[in-house]
Structure 1
Amino acid sequence: MPRVIVAPMEINELTPAERRVWEAFPCGRTVDFRERPREAADHGADWGAERTVRAEVLQALLLDGPRLEGQTPVLRVCGARISGTLDLLYADVASAIHLWACFFDEWPDLYGARLRQLNLGWSVLPGLHGNTLRIDGSLRMTGCRVRGPVRLGGARISGAVFLDGAELGEAGAELTEPVLALNRVTIDDELQAGGGFTAHGLVRLAGAVVAGSITLDDAVLSNPGGTALHASNLSVGTDLHAMRLTAHGRVNLAGARIPGQLNFGSARLSNPGGVALRASGVVGGALWLHGAPPVEGAIALRGGQLGLLYIAPETWPDRVRLDGLTYGRFGPHEPAERWLQVLERDTDGHVPYAYEQLAVAYRSIGDDAAARTVQLAKLRRHRTTLPFHARAWGHLQDATVGYGFRPGRAALWLLSLLLVGSVTYAVRQPRALKPDEAPDFDPVFYTLDLLLPIVGFGQEQAYAAQGVYQSLSYALIVMGWTLATTIAAGVTRAISRQ
């Protein structure tokens, strides 16, 4: 027969329920106290002695419980009420722990512990203390109901973390600490917190390192008037999926490193009067916010670096901060006027870089006309910050050649002035200064001689208008010089921008 190593706690000290757990532990059998499949643990406080297990018994099993040669001990309990505090402070536990759909009277204390694996799925707990916890496998809290904070700051988890479907905190309750503290945590696999995950309070992921992806699809993060998700300097190996996320409070991703997608498709971001999404300094592959209703609150993306920025113009809020944001591509492809409406909402005032970046993005997809429209809008907005004389000169450049981005205007002005001069001087021919030497008069080339300061056809030197027609010739000369100067300035600016 297998040799049994007897632990210090005697079996005759155990209740019938505890004896079942004690005897099942050495060979890893499951002890299921549930009266029906999928029985919830919400009313576990009413469970009697027939399904109550003292936390000190579980502690004795995990630290110094019976062993069978050739068997792997595993603690597997379903539907039990755990009375007292499961105290594994600084403990080194070699056995995996599966406490499925259990009800905990007190906070488990796992501070500084090292565990093989921890499964608390569908359990109800008043809180969990696990700062600096080490888990060689996965942490599963799927469907858990935790009424107080979950403290896992500085934890190191070699597997994945599962929080999908869990609910943390109490609606309306005020906490002085995060309802979920994963700051400086290291997860060597994925963090799954979708499928209806709900947090009533702050979720902190500041400085966390997740080797795989983070999933927050269909999650609800509720901390109205405060920060719902604080994930500054977060480092993710692949993607952050937050499709259909509902966030009441600020989502802070400042300084995060996410090489794949930041996917907020169809998400509802709401923080009226504050910043709804702060992703300043983010370095990421793509930021998606498609199919989402208008964001309630500001969006701050200053200094970010993205491969793709995909946010429909109607989704942007009334307040944005985009100074220093760099992106390779953008979408959806809308007329420049719609995107310019977004840039005009920048609360930092005139931000030339934002206009230049949008122009570069349009040019990268071959829409040069839209790029010119953006650059023209940048100069018009900049003009509002200039003194009077500079604004007047800017208005002139705008009206004549559109700061060099509307070359067709120059041609229209030239043709209009040429038409006026040609018709006028065809009706009233100027007198010849030297009739014997003057070439035949041509009203078109005479007008061109007046308009073009660096081109001569010999008409202006041979003929001279008188009276009001002389005044017209002076006006054509002045307008020609002015037009030539503005064209040169505008073309030089346009070439330098290219």
Structure 2
Amino acid sequence: MESNDLTPAERRLWEAFPRGEGVDFREGPDEDACDGRDWGAERTVRAEVIAALLLSNPAPSGQVPGINVRGIRIIGKLDLKYAVIEHPIRLRACWFERKPQLYGARLRALVLTDSALPGLTASTLCVDITLRLNCCRVTGPVRLTGARIAGGLFLQGAVIRPGTLSDERDEPPLQLNHAEIGTDIIADDLTVHGQLRINGATIAGLISLDRAKLINPGGIALHAETVSVGTDLRGHRLEAEGMVNLTGARIPGQLLLTRARLANRDGVALRASSCAIGELWLRLCPPIDGIVNLRRSQVDMLYAEPGVWPSVIRTEGLTYRVLHPHLPAEDRLPALEREESGYLPYAYERLAAAYRTVGDEAGARTVQLAKLRRHRRTLPRPARAWGQLQDLTVGYGFRPLRAAGWLAALVLTGSLAYGLHPPRELKAGEAPEFNPVFYTIDLMLPIIGFGQESAFAPNGWYQWLSYLLIVTGWILATTTAAGVSRSLQRQ
């Protein structure tokens, strides 16, 4: 391209390029690039001029060329498909008439901060340093499928909406599936009206979605199946309308959803099944509006207040080692009743193990007792009656003091009754001295004998009382033995 074919605005850009100097066409620092359609010829640059600069302008000796411009209106299509460009491209606060075409390109660095674009086609793009889309306003799909970025991807404050063309309406507005990011994805305060797709991506550092808004009611707001991050996935104060799908994700650090609002009414709000997560934080969150699916996931530390869980959860096969905050077991048990699959013995065993991990044996026993009570509801009626009796007497072996209480109450009752009305001697002059306490114990305990039962015989309703004590003693002894045996087997 000849220099005499350039407009004054293009000539400024052309002359600044060899030295990488910045050119600012803005009238003020607070100017909005969304108004760029109305900018005049004095700040309009043809896309083909930018392409010609990047593709044909040689680098002068001892200088670092590059495009560094703010506040221009770019008309036409910036077509750099398959191009290999060694110069940095910085087009800040610019307005694009058509979406840039960067499919298969290899760039040094690309900065589009504060710009307004109708979309970005950059699948399989390779960037040696960084890609910045901070505070961009995009009204079409951002296609970064399979992109390779050696540095970081920055999307802070960007707003991305679906395209208006018929072939773009059903397309996810932000596509990062199978991308490889050498450091981090920083997308704090990002807003996506539609689906953020990042499934299969590999991020060496962290993904930060703090205060982001992902709006796709009735659909998938965050599609991150099998995503792999090096450290954390942050979503502090994240707002997601639609499913957050993390199936198969690998997050060795923290999945941080503190104060996040997750909503997908009549559907799954959070799906994190088959995941491997170091720490899952659901701290200070409002109740999740929708189903939570954590099936088959492995979590080292799970932080979740009881109030965060919805009415339906799916936890079959979920394993965790530590549960925070540490609360009484009675506060954790209602969540197990919300399991969609019904009674899951493993869920109770896992919760009991978490209490044992922190040394709370009383909490572990409470969970085990709740498990047996829940199991009892699944049994036939006769078995339920026997279980009810074991629960009432000794708490299935987890409440051994109940047996002592029952024993003391019955001994006191018998002692008072027979102390006031001693039974008659069976053989006069041969019976030992009557002792109402040991007589009652003799009736109740089938193994121990003090010679009282065989020497005296009560009459009337006292005889019926003796029958009651004998039967009660046998039942108490049997249930106690069953409970203690079960407790010893668990230990």
Give TM-score scaled by structure 2 length: 0.95
Q: How far apart are 1:466 and its partner, in Å? A: 4.0
**Deviation by residue 1:194-219 (Cα, 9 ceiling, x = unmatched):** 0x210000001111111111111111
Whether the aligned pair in 2 keeps the contact of 1:126 and 1:147 (CA below 8 Å) is yes
Which residue does 2:48 correspond to in 1? Answer: 56
Q: How far apart are 1:436 and its partner, in Å? A: 4.6
User: Which segment drifts farther, 447-456 or 383-392?
Assistant: 447-456
Amino acid at match of 2:23: V
Amino acid at match of 1:213: L
Amino acid at match of 2:56: D
Which residue does 2:438 correspond to in 1? Answer: 445
What are the equivalent positions in structure 2 for 1:32-431 lying under 5 Å apart? 32-169=24-161, 175-194=169-188, 196-431=189-424
**Deviation by residue 1:473-494 (Cα, 9 ceiling, x = unmatched):** 2322221111111111112222
Matched residue of 1:346: which SS? coil
Matched residue of 1:360: which SS? helix
Matched residue of 1:276: which SS? strand
Q: Distance between the aligned counterparts of 1:315 and 1:387, measured in 2?
A: 35
Whether the aligned pair in 2 keeps the contact of 1:175 and 1:201 (CA below 8 Å) is no
Whether the aligned pair in 2 keeps the contact of 1:160 and 1:191 (CA below 8 Å) is yes
User: Which segment drifts farther, 460-469 or 167-176?
Assistant: 167-176
Matched residue of 2:33: which SS? coil
Q: How far apart are 1:140 and its partner, in Å? A: 0.3
Q: Distance between the aligned counterparts of 1:307 and 1:171, measured in 2?
A: 41
Q: Distance between the aligned counterparts of 2:84 and 2:68, measured in 1?
A: 18
User: Which segment drifts farther, 442-451 or 209-218?
Assistant: 442-451
Whether the aligned pair in 1 keeps the contact of 2:162 and 2:172 (CA below 8 Å) is no
Whether the aligned pair in 1 keeps the contact of 2:12 and 2:23 (CA below 8 Å) is yes
Q: How far apart are 1:159 and its partner, in Å? A: 0.2
Q: Distance between the aligned counterparts of 2:446 and 2:62, measured in 1?
A: 103
Q: Distance between the aligned counterparts of 2:422 and 2:81, measured in 1?
A: 107
Q: How far apart are 1:333 and its partner, in Å? A: 2.3
Which residue does 1:484 correspond to in 2? Answer: 477
Matched residue of 1:199: which SS? strand
Aligned residues: 489
**Deviation by residue 1:295-335 (Cα, 9 ceiling, x = unmatched):** 21122222222222112112222222222222222222222
Which residue does 1:6 correspond to in 2? Answer: none
Amino acid at match of 2:11: R
User: Which segment drifts farther, 43-52 or 467-476?
Assistant: 467-476
Whether the aligned pair in 2 keeps the contact of 1:171 and 1:200 (CA below 8 Å) is no
Q: Distance between the aligned counterparts of 1:35 and 1:258, measured in 2?
A: 45
Q: Distance between the aligned counterparts of 2:33 and 2:477, measured in 1?
A: 83
Matched, 1:464 2:457: yes
Amino acid at match of 2:299: L
Q: Percent identity?
A: 59
Amino acid at match of 1:177: E
Q: Which runs of 5+ in 2 are unaligned?
A: none
Q: Which runs of 5+ in 1 are unaligned?
A: 1-8
